[in-house]
Structure 1
């Protein structure tokens, strides 16, 4: 159940069917990928409709994930859900420590240099293996800033919706 002012987060999608008993194959954006089952209820969104489901269970299957959803008991019902997006309410995510942030909470924040020059807003963040990268966009350009605390990222202030970075505005 959402709280006032809550927003939705895209956490995955149904990408196929598995077997004949109504199981589905999932793509999960959570880390680790099976953690998607910890965040419920799910809001399943298709082109035609949207509905909330709770009590979804699943497991790893080969290189993917399979799941069973309440009320989905055969292959035809499962096939009708292929392509559905899995959304959750932000409030479904667990509380984190004061020095941690969810990537989703950074999206839309203004990014400024230590000299106060605005670089734009956070579009999204992605992982590279070595470190995460903040994608910052303004009207003219896109910048990729390594998410390295202390070296490039100096301050994240969710109250003022601003991230301060040590970054050359010309780069």
Structure 2
């Protein structure tokens, strides 16, 4: 496996599109129009290592991004990348507003209640539609599902990986 420590996954190539070398990408980024715009350099993670590619063109089609990379002239040159993940370098990440966070800033954060008692550690984030739900691993108890809403999440300290929540009645049952 390649080292993707300073890279962030933005999608997966799920298939080719047509014979001219376009690929269908399932995006997992809040900024696909920026990630897949002309001139952006992406990294494709293959079994042999990372392959840098520069976006020549892109367009949204049926909830998938159709992307053509520079230097790719036909389907035969791109087909080998089907099912491979696509990454962007950390310095290409978008600056976020206050109270917005990248997943990697939340994962492994310690969650405490308003009195400072440790509830657990965020292990994953589920995107359910209306709001994200943070899965919190608890010692000796089932995982807690914490909705990312203002009534529950009171503060997020990204630098110290500490999240304070108001454990409303029934939330941790």
**RMSD of Structure 2 on Structure 1 (CA):** 2.2
d(CA) in 2 for partners of 1:25 and 1:170?
Answer: 40
Q: Which residue of 2 aligns with 1:132?
A: 132
List structure 1 runs of 4+ shifted beyond 6 angstroms.
Answer: none
Count of aligned pairs between the two proteins: 165
Shift of 1:26: 0.8
In proportion to residue count, which structure has more strand?
Answer: 2
Shift of 1:157: 0.7
TM-score, normalised with respect to structure 2: 0.83
Which runs of structure 2 are paired with 1:5-154 in the superposition (5 Å)? 7-31=6-30, 33-38=32-37, 40-140=40-140, 141-149=142-150, 151-154=151-154
Q: Does structure 2 retain, via aligned residues, the 8 Å contact 1:46–1:83? A: no
Q: Does structure 2 retain, via aligned residues, the 8 Å contact 1:28–1:34? A: no
Gap runs ≥5 in structure 1: 1-5
Shift of 1:128: 2.1
Gap runs ≥5 in structure 2: none
d(CA) in 1 for partners of 2:49 and 2:31?
Answer: 29
**Deviation larger for 19-28 or 139-148:** 139-148
The alpha-carbon distance between structure 1 residues 154 and 59, as it changes in their structure 2 partners (threshold 3 A), is same
The alpha-carbon distance between structure 1 residues 40 and 142, as it changes in their structure 2 partners (threshold 3 A), is farther
d(CA) in 2 for partners of 1:84 and 1:25?
Answer: 11
TM-score, normalised with respect to structure 1: 0.84
